[in-house]
Structure 1
Amino acid sequence: MRYKKWSQTKKLLMSFLCDDLRSRVDYQLVNYRKAHDQTGRAYITVDKKEVLNMCSLISMNKEAEEEQRIINERVLIYDLSDTKSILETKELAVTINMNKGIYAQWDFLDIVNMFLHNPIEVSLGSQDLLTNILCLLDRRVGKRTLRRMNESIQDHHELIQYFYQLRCEAEKV
């Protein structure tokens, strides 16, 4: 997927923040030039405190651990010629980690890109944790929608609950 420059993407993403959170929430992207692959991390801050860290290296390590757990759990013989099984295991590990809130920098960029190009109604229906966080911070999600989410939010990940509470306090809902 082709990306705009981060400065342009961030400007657009920040323009979707609800007014009451504009001065409190920030999105950051850091690339480490001396790293072997020159990737880094993305993170979301609230009141200048890091709330969600999306480090590529941590994500890759957790993904490898999860893949190994899946292989051990299923008692799979890891055959390098069986690419279908390898890809399925890898995709499952990535999905499990994303459900836990473990993202890589490129996952963040992919999700932000989809979020910015989809209507808010599509994003609100997403099962992805990061997409849900972006929706909770979005000015297009009004007070009525936030009130409707009140009961179902208790079943979601603690990060979603945190951002829901942040938004409700900011909007005085």
Structure 2
Amino acid sequence: MSWSKLKQQLEGFLSPALHRRVEYRAPGYRYLPDKSGICYISVDKKNVLNMSDKTNTIRWYQTELEIKNDPDIQIPIANSDIEAVRQATKGPVPEDRLIVMARSRKSTEHAKELMSAQAALVKSNFIVVANQFLTTPIEESLESEEILLNILALVDRRVGKKRILSMVEKMELKHPVVRYFYELRRDTL
């Protein structure tokens, strides 16, 4: 599918409140066919997501430790997580220490997931992911670990106000760029 047709389809699915604000851009490299996957998502004429550039306004993590120390990421701990740590320790451990250990374990798992999703985004081809988005149900795109699929689904008109408002807890665990587009969409409701 040509870029212009793909762009037209993606913009056709944009939420009406974001119609003129969010744009999909692809610089034309006429003589460099291997550069066709480089694309940008801009908000209010400002490039917000450039898949190959980590120097934009969205925070990109370099290490797992940065993710663990980020105060914006609040990782909820369930009783089952504490119980799993209790069984793994096989001994008397104070309750407050179990909570700290469970939080550390969950934050390590979460950091690894975010780092792998971030690495996949840099390597991915926007056109391939956009075609995947157009052929999969919106629920799958929202639940996906792929950052770009999350973004395309969040700005989609098929995701209603009730669903956006009910996603607050899920968004706390997502990458900052996904949270940015979530907040952009939530603010337009």
- TM-score normalised to structure 2 length: 0.62
Number of aligned residue pairs: 129
Which residue of the partner structure matches residue 120 of structure 1? 138
Structure 2 contact 121–148 (Cα < 8 Å) conserved: no
The structural deviation recorded for 1:102 is 4.2
Structure 1 contact 28–42 (Cα < 8 Å) conserved: yes
AA matched with 1:5: S
The structural deviation recorded for 1:154 is 1.1
Which residue of the partner structure matches residue 23 of structure 2? 26
Matches of 2:120 and 2:177 in 1, distance apart?
Answer: 8
Structure 2 contact 118–147 (Cα < 8 Å) conserved: yes
The structural deviation recorded for 1:97 is 5.8
The structural deviation recorded for 1:114 is 0.5
Are 1:53 and 2:50 matched, yes or no?
yes
Secondary structure at the counterpart of residue 20 of structure 2: coil
Written as runs of structure 1 = structure 2, the 5 A alignment for 1:56-135 is: 96=115, 98-100=117-119, 102-104=121-123, 107-135=125-153
Secondary structure at the counterpart of residue 103 of structure 1: helix
**CA distances 1:74-102 after superposition (whole Å, capped 9, x unpaired):** xxxxxxxxxxxxxxxxxxxxx95642574
Taking only the aligned residue pairs, the percentage that are identical comes to 41
Spell out structure 1 runs of 4+ moving beyond 6 A. Answer: none
The structural deviation recorded for 1:118 is 1.0
**Structure with a larger share of its residues in strand:** 1
AA matched with 2:23: D
Which residue of the partner structure matches residue 44 of structure 1? 41
- TM-score normalised to structure 1 length: 0.67
- Unmatched tracts of structure 1, length 5 or more: 57-94
The structural deviation recorded for 1:151 is 1.6
Matches of 1:32 and 1:97 in 2, distance apart?
Answer: 29
